[in-house]
A and B are shown apart, each in its own frame.
Chain A
């Protein structure tokens, strides 16, 4: 019995000692972060989605403090941008198009009976997805095509269309809920009350 009490007491003492050391050192070695970064981080929605191109909200907050654009946060939407603009005293921007939403995936399609075999689209294609030779009709390897549009402009007879990929069993995905930014605009990324006009 004595030995059990003894061992509990000794380990308890050890734990308390270590707890004191850690507690003291967390105060002593406290890192005073950049206060503006903390404020920006507080406005960002903390979804850690990485759509801004940073690994999380905190790194994005740091680079905003270093002068990056404030309009790269799709989950926060316009409300976040307005709050950031208010905090940093900069202009309100539209949500960056590149970060706004995922465009519909397309592939190039060559209308083969109109193709004159000029090979211009082959030279333009960055991924070698167009097959063909001079004065032979060309065609697109659908699996290789990235839908980059670069072959459309060079074609002298305008026989290249960008077709949306039909969804089928291999590429179908769950649809995102309809416009989450609208739904969450009031909840995420702002702690401001909607301004109510006082009636006198």
Chain B
């Protein structure tokens, strides 16, 4: 489908470093756009007024939300991860939302880079790498006690160790997969419904009334659902990152 196609922009097809193509794709463009909007949004709230205005209040409630999430999930040790989790959360949130903006009305093609596993996979691998680095730096080899919950009977230890190890190792995969599939499935659903509207509308008055109009109403409702899902998925990604960081910081 065209909305998921990655293509080089601005004639950058042949840019390369050491044989690897580094063309500036539409994916990179929307990442930059998401980052730029985020910078714009946050920089509007950095005036440090004593009585915050509306903009500063919006920025402060977003940072306060992430701060609170880390405080409840990781505890006092989680304070140092606030910058990372805040960037992660708001980057994904902005990316999900700008991908839903109906720019097609003015002839542009919105693109959601979170609907590609290569983008979400890297984000989740970064979270996993931080967990490994922090866990081993802080607890040394004692970190392996994460795989044996406290109070496990001796005979169960080999089995529990394997199960816990597998559940630990699939984390980066499941974290990236969830965001990618949720965004991609939502966009595919909208595209299928819109194709119902268009082909049904072209097939005569009866099909228009019986298929196109109900599809259009359903599509409006699904759009509202997608806005909800875009927020929830960004929240879930950040929340699970916090939970994994909690494992690394405090073990069990």
User: Are the chains A and B members of one assembly?
Assistant: no
